[in-house]
Structure 1
């Protein structure tokens, strides 16, 4: 196994899900210009996420149906006459 494959500069980082405000503290090498004060009183780099396990439909059990430009309605109108 190659010893130089993985980075050595892991540090504590706060990841924040911007869709619901859920935050968690973990170790990462991801760069960040923003910081946030965590529950323990220390300041950590902040990484903003669009989606996490707390907001993803697979993990929450809520399926989200996105209908862009009425594609479902167009399909129903098109094939309603043939049925």
Structure 2
């Protein structure tokens, strides 16, 4: 790898605003805000809107689309050809 062209890879806290949870991981993401973690160290914090803690697919709250009802509604609206 070439020196000086890659972003710094460091420990960062990702905070999910919807679920109110935080994850400590490594990333190249940057932020001017910091947060003190449970280990007493201060890390940069990146706020995200959706993560695995709040996404409907991972939490089991995903809606199931009724495809048969959608087809019938389409046929009523536009007729069957």
Do Structure 1 and Structure 2 share a fold, with TM-score over 0.5? yes
CA RMSD of aligned residues (A): 2.3
Q: CA deviation at 1:63?
A: 2.2
The number of residue pairs the alignment matches comes to 66
Q: Can you list the C-alpha shifts for 1:19-56, whole angstroms capped at 9, x where unaligned?
A: 01110101111110100000101100000000000100
Q: Which sections of structure 2, spanning at least 5 residues, go unmatched?
A: 65-72, 77-81
Q: CA deviation at 1:7?
A: 2.7
Partner of 1:27: 26
Partner of 1:45: 44
Q: Which sections of structure 1, spanning at least 5 residues, go unmatched?
A: 66-75
